[in-house]
């Protein structure tokens, strides 16, 4: 048995003989970016400050020789062989480190999928080095020369080895950037992304039942967070309440149904606010919440959508006993005026 010490927080994690650092961290509830889990993508690269470890077989493209000499390792393959291994992780309170934002990174639109009458999904691939980000963060997209000021859009997928980024953009009446995305961008278009930004990211302290509440394209960051959590083996119950006006406004139901079938701890419930349909709930989430969860005192709460939606969901959760330190939210302000600045976002906490 070895001990992994996180610097600078000083917190420790036990690591069984033959277990990788990544696995030990995940079992202890700590999030670390990863994708391939086979030493090929480099997402789990961290600096080892002291101690010895067996790096195993990894590709030079994922961990270069100079990086190895500087003390870096890939934690998906690294196995401690000393009593203690000290690695850089996060801050003094053990929150994950944020990746430095990059500006005007070139991407190509490889696909665009109409998800609802008002939401289009963009699939973007980087032309160069991928953006490193945490699930739940957002990027800025726009083209000032085309009259589309940069706007904030949450990333809807967990990090992938190929660097693909998925954005789900709602058309906003009078919004120049959403209009440009819906009406002008085509497959093959080159765009520039800046980011990542935001702190709606992994929280290593979350080990309780989770309730996610989302409306419209507020589903995007919840998708990224849930995907990452389920793939890393998060075991407490996770319930997603998704609010839509009508059946036509419901999207990603196939993916959510797949997760529900594959992961026994994941449940999704869709509620419609303007019509009734078989298999769906009826009513706004804050109204129906007491019947679904009479007591939220032991739950971690994650909600994303418009500020009004987020505010009402947070108030409803508090009324049912949810603690403020367990409530995490992301709200975004719509773009109504062409010359308006990028929307402000309310960001805190997250599911890791």
At 114-145, the pLDDT tens digits run: 999 999 999 999 999 899 888 889 999 999 99
Is residue 104 over pLDDT 50?
yes
pLDDT digits (tens, 9 = 90+) for 158-192: 888 889 999 999 999 999 999 999 999 999 999 99
Q: In Å, how far are 110, 163, 186, 313 from 127, measured between CA atoms?
A: 11, 9, 17, 39
Is residue 338 over pLDDT 60?
no
pLDDT digits (tens, 9 = 90+) for 139-162: 999 999 999 999 999 999 988 888
DSSP notation for 152-187: EEEB-S---TT--EEEEEE--TT-HHHHHHHHT--T
Work out the mean pLDDT of the chain and round it to a whole number. Answer: 89
Residue 349's pLDDT is 30
Among 19-33, 273-287, 296-310, whose mean pLDDT is lowest?
19-33
Is residue 334 over pLDDT 80?
no
Residue 343's pLDDT is 36
Which residue carries 């997209």 as its tokens?
141
Residue 28's pLDDT is 79
Report the C-alpha gap between 104 and 14 in whole angstroms.
Answer: 41
Residue 337's pLDDT is 35
Is residue 61 over pLDDT 60?
yes
More confident residue, 334 or 262: 262
Contact status, residue 85 vs residue 51, Cβ threshold 8 Å: yes
Is residue 348 over pLDDT 50?
no
- Is residue 126 helix, strand or coil? strand
Contact status, residue 293 vs residue 300, Cβ threshold 8 Å: no
Residue 351's pLDDT is 44
pLDDT digits (tens, 9 = 90+) for 202-259: 665 567 999 999 999 999 999 999 998 888 788 899 999 999 999 999 999 999 999 9
pLDDT digits (tens, 9 = 90+) for 284-315: 999 999 999 999 999 999 999 988 999 999 99
Report the C-alpha gap between 154 and 34 in whole angstroms.
Answer: 19
Residue 182's pLDDT is 97
Band (pLDDT 50/70/90 cuts) for residue 102 is very high
Residue 346's pLDDT is 33
Band (pLDDT 50/70/90 cuts) for residue 341 is very low
Is residue 57 over pLDDT 80?
yes
Contact status, residue 215 vs residue 78, Cβ threshold 8 Å: no
- Is residue 32 helix, strand or coil? coil
Residue 326's pLDDT is 86
Q: Mean pLDDT throughout 335-340?
A: 36
Which residue carries 């289009």 as its tokens?
120
Residue 42's pLDDT is 86
Residue 202's pLDDT is 60
HSE-CB at 26 with a 13 A cutoff on CA atoms is: 20
324 phi, psi to nearest 5 deg = -60, -35
Residue 205's pLDDT is 55
Contact status, residue 80 vs residue 16, Cβ threshold 8 Å: no
Residue 206's pLDDT is 65
Report the C-alpha gap between 8 and 275 in whole angstroms.
Answer: 52
| Nearest of 213, 244, 216 to residue 226 by alpha carbon | 213
Q: Mean pLDDT throughout 266-293?
A: 97
Is residue 347 over pLDDT 80?
no
Q: Mean pLDDT throughout 88-111?
A: 88
């Amino acid at each position: 048995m070895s001990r992994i010490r996180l610097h600078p927080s000083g917190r420790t994690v036990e690591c069984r003989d033959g277990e990788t650092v990544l696995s030990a961290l995940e079992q202890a509830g700590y999030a670390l970016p990863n994708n391939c889990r086979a030493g090929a993508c480099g997402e789990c690269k961290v600096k080892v400050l002291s101690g010895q470890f067996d790096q195993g077989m990894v590709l030079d493209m994922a961990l270069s020789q100079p990086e190895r000499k500087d003390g870096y390792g890939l934690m998906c393959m690294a196995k401690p062989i000393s009593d203690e291994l000290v690695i850089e992780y996060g801050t003094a309170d053990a929150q994950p480190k944020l990746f430095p934002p990059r500006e005007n990174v070139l991407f190509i639109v490889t696909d665009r999928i109409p998800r609802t009458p008002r939401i289009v999904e963009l699939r973007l691939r980087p032309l160069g080095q991928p953006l490193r980000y945490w699930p739940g963060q957002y990027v800025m997209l726009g083209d000032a020369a085309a009259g589309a000021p940069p706007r904030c859009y949450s990333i809807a997928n967990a990090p992938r080895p190929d660097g693909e980024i998925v954005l789900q953009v709602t058309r906003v009446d009078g919004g120049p950037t959403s209009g440009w995305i819906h009406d002008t961008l085509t497959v093959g278009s080159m765009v520039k992304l800046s980011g990542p930004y935001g702190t709606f990211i992994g929280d290593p302290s979350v080990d309780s039942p989770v309730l996610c509440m989302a409306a419209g394209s507020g589903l995007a960051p919840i998708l990224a967070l849930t995907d990452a959590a389920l793939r890393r083996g998060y075991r407490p119950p996770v319930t997603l309440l998704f609010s839509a006006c009508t059946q036509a406004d419901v999207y990603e139901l196939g993916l959510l149904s797949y997760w529900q079938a594959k992961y026994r701890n994941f449940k999704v419930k869709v509620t419609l606010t303007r019509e009734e349909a078989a298999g769906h709930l009826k009513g706004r989430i804050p109204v129906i919440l007491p019947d679904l969860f009479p007591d939220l005192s032991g739950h971690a709460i994650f909600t994303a959508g418009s500020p009004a939606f987020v505010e009402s969901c947070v108030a409803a959760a508090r009324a049912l006993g949810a603690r403020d330190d367990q409530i995490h939210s992301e709200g975004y302000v719509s773009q109504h005026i062409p010359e308006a600045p990028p929307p402000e976002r309310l960001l805190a906490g997250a599911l890791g």
